[in-house]
Amino acid sequence: MTIKGGLLIIISGPSGAGKSSVTSNLLSNIKNLDFSVSYTTRDKRSNEEDEEHYKFISKEKFHEMIDENLFLEYETVHGNFYGTPIKPIQESLKFGHSILLDIDVQGASSIINTNHFDCVSIFIKPPSIEELEERLIERKDMSDDDIQKRVKEARKEIVQSKYFNHMIVNENLDECIDHIRKILMGL
pLDDT at 71: 96
pLDDT at 173: 97
Q: Is 61 exposed, middle or buried (0-12, 13-18, 19+ CB in 10 A)?
A: middle
pLDDT at 59: 97
- What is the DSSP pairing of strand 71-77 with strand 80-85? antiparallel
pLDDT at 125: 98
Is the Cβ–Cβ distance between 101 and 23 less than 8 Å?
A: no
Is the Cβ–Cβ distance between 63 and 88 less than 8 Å?
A: no
pLDDT at 135: 95
pLDDT at 165: 97
pLDDT at 137: 95
pLDDT at 70: 97
- As its CATH architecture, domain 8-185 has 3-Layer(aba) Sandwich (3.40)
Distance CA 93, CA 95 (A): 5
pLDDT at 117: 85
pTM comes to: 0.93
Crossing angle for the helix pair 144-159 and 129-139, nearest 10 degrees? Answer: 140
pLDDT at 19: 95
Each of the 187 residues of the chain gets a pLDDT tens digit; together they read 999 999 999 999 999 999 999 999 999 999 999 999 999 999 998 888 899 889 999 999 999 999 999 999 999 988 899 999 999 999 999 999 999 999 999 999 999 988 678 999 999 999 999 999 999 999 988 899 999 999 999 999 999 999 999 999 999 999 999 999 999 999 9
